[in-house]
Amino acid sequence: MKIACFVEAYNFDALISERNALLEFKSTAEAMGHTFEFIFKEDITRIQEYDSLFIRATTDPNNSAYIISRLAEQAGLKVIDDPHSIRICSNKAILHDLFLKNNIPSPKSLLFTGDYSRESLDNIFNTLGSPVIIKTPYTRFSSHVEKASNETEFIEISKRFLRKSKILILQEYIQSDFDWRVGILQNKVLYLCKYCFPGGGWKVKSKINGKNKWGDTIPVPRECISSELKEISINLSKCVGDGLYGLDVKETKDGYKVIEINDNPSIYHGYEDTVDKDIYEKIINALVS
Ligand SMILES: Nc1ncnc2c1ncn2[C@@H]1O[C@H](COP(=O)(O)OP(=O)(O)O)[C@@H](O)[C@H]1O
Ligand SMILES: [Mg+2]
């Protein structure tokens, strides 16, 4: 089979661990008897020459990755990430609705469009408690996720975010020392990691003394997943599709709380792939099946 892997220059340039993971995909596919070519946006018009498409560039309905995903699907290719998964996962307001409708345990959430009346502000803090988490629908890599401990901070952060987006997501703050990252492929657990927070931070990527820092990744064998986390994760992935997903989940004394489901989850060599080493092979198999 001919597999196209859609990338952008940053997938190779930013992190050596990402570049090495891409090369691992290629050598695994070739060892399995397939061809695996990296393609760029210039190649978008020849997508029908391939049998399947694997997208590693950032997906977002505004990006070329989404366009190529749609074109490939229309041309009959097997596609990961498929356009439907990209649309659902890219927007946190849509996810919030999906969680509610499917009884997925998740933080209490409200949508906010800029009503600063006394009644509205009281309702926010009475419903969500303090601090309140504020997010834009399209945040990635923790870029537009902030915490407001009081009304003054809430007004400052939300006004700043409303310049980026007309609708914000507000959530109760869920305390934890790390995020579970559950990698899912074809509605089965593919890998499991703990994404830790850098010292003093509360997000996987936090600003510490003015500098962006990432926390450690601790891989955990996938068979060690608790039955409850597995059930929640698979129930949720089935609500989106049968592609490749990365879920962020917090473990609390009141059970698990799902923060989000991502399409296009990060796979870095020496991180997500260190204990379950067959993840490349399983993804290639999903692309050619
Ligand atoms: N309600 C919440 N309570 C506590 N931490 C949160 C909450 N929502 C998000 N976070 C933390 O913020 C970070 C980014 O949030 P997330 O919703 O996953 O957005 P992104 O798409 O930018 O990764 C994650 O590390 C997550 O654990
Ligand atoms: Mg996240």
Which domain CATH number covers 251?
3.30.470.20
114 and 64 assigned to the same domain:
no
User: Which residue type, as a one-letter code, is found at position 49?
Assistant: E
Domain final residue pick, 172, 189, 217: 172
Q: Is residue 87 one of the residues assigned to a domain?
A: no
Residue 43: which of 81, 1, 71 has the closest Cα? 71
- 247 touches 182 (CB < 8 A): yes
Query: 142: CA distance to ligand 2 center in Å?
Result: 6
User: Does residue 256 share a domain with residue 180?
Assistant: yes
Q: What is the CATH number of the domain that holds 134?
A: 3.30.1490.20
> 198 and 164, same structural domain?
no
Same-domain pairing of 73 and 116: no
E-assigned strands of 91-216?
109-112, 132-135, 145-148, 168-172, 178-185, 188-196, 205-208, 211-214
Tell me, yes or no, whether 95 lies in a domain. no
Contacts 24+ apart (CB under 8 A), 67-75: 68/6, 68/41, 68/44, 71/44, 71/47, 72/4, 72/47, 75/47, 75/48
Range of the domain at 25: 2-81
Average pLDDT, the chain: 96
Task: Please give the single-letter amino acid code of residue 243.
Answer: G
DSSP 61-95: TTSHHHHHHHHHHHTT-EEES-HHHHHHHH-HHHH
* CA 145 / ligand 1 centre spacing (Å): 6
Out of 151, 172, 193, pick the residue that ends a domain: 172
- Among 172, 195, 225, the domain boundary falls at 172
List the CATH number of the domain containing 28: 3.40.50.20
- Residue 209, pLDDT above cutoff 90: no
Q: Is residue 137 domain-shared with residue 168, that is, in the same domain?
A: yes
- Alpha-carbon span 238 to 135, nearest angstrom: 25
Q: How far apart are CA 42 and CA 150, in angstroms?
A: 48
From the CA of 110, the nearest ligand is 1
Angle (deg, nearest 10), helices 227-240 and 92-101? 120
Measure the CA–CA gap between 137 and 146, rounded to whole angstroms. 13
- Amino acid 206: pLDDT: 87
Return d(Cα 255, Cα 174) in angstroms, integer.
Answer: 11
Q: What does the pLDDT average to over 216-225?
A: 98
Ligand 1: nearest atom to the Cα of 262? 21
Q: Is the predicted pLDDT of residue 60 greater than 90, yes or no?
A: no
Pairing of strands 168-172, 145-148: unpaired
Chain segment 3-14, per-residue pLDDT in tens: 999 999 999 999
Q: pLDDT tens across 19-38, in order?
A: 999 999 999 999 999 999 99
Residue at 12 is within a domain: yes
Q: Quick one: average pLDDT of 52-80? A: 96
In this prediction, residues 238-267 reach a mean pLDDT of 98
Asked, for residue 23, whether it belongs to a domain, the answer is yes
How is 196-237 classified by DSSP, letter by letter?
EPPTT-SSSEEEETTEEEEPPEEEE-GGGS-HHHHHHHHHHH
pTM above 0.95, yes or no: yes
Which residue among 86, 95, 132, 142 is best mutated to probe the pocket of ligand 1, counting the most ligand atoms within 8 A of its Cβ? Answer: 142
User: Percent of the chain scored above 90 by pLDDT?
Assistant: 92
Say yes or no: 119 and 191 in one domain. no
171 alpha carbon to ligand 1 midpoint, in Å? 10
Same-domain status, 157 and 179 = no
* Distance from Cα 232 to the centre of ligand 1, integer Å: 18
Question: Is residue 113 in some structural domain?
Answer: yes
Please, which pLDDT band fits residue 215 given cuts at 50, 70 and 90?
Answer: very high
Q: 145 φ, ψ to 5°? A: -130, 115
Q: Which of 148-157, 194-203, 227-236, 272-281 has the lowest mean pLDDT?
A: 194-203
- 91-147 residue pLDDT tens: 999 999 999 999 999 999 999 999 999 999 999 999 999 999 999 999 888 889 999
Query: Is residue 192 in some structural domain?
Result: yes
Report whether pLDDT(269) > 90.
Answer: yes
Same domain, 140 and 72: no
Q: Decide: helix, strand or coil at residue 18.
A: helix
- Determine the pLDDT at residue 142: 87
CA of 287 to the centre of ligand 1 (A): 30
Same domain membership, residue 183 and residue 259:
yes
- Determine, yes or no, domain membership for 200: yes
User: How many percent of the chain have pLDDT more than 70?
Assistant: 100
181 and 160 share one domain: no
Candidates 248, 251, 258: which one to mutate for ligand 1, based on the most atoms within 8 Å of Cβ? Answer: 248
Residues 126 and 149 in one domain: yes
Q: 76 with 113, same domain?
A: no
Indicate the range of 27-31, 160-164, 196-200 predicted with least confidence. 196-200
User: In total, how many domains does the chain have?
Assistant: 3
Report the candidate in 45, 25, 21, 48 with the shortest Cα–Cα distance to residue 35: 25
Residue 205, in any domain of the structure = yes
The predicted pLDDT at position 208 comes to 85
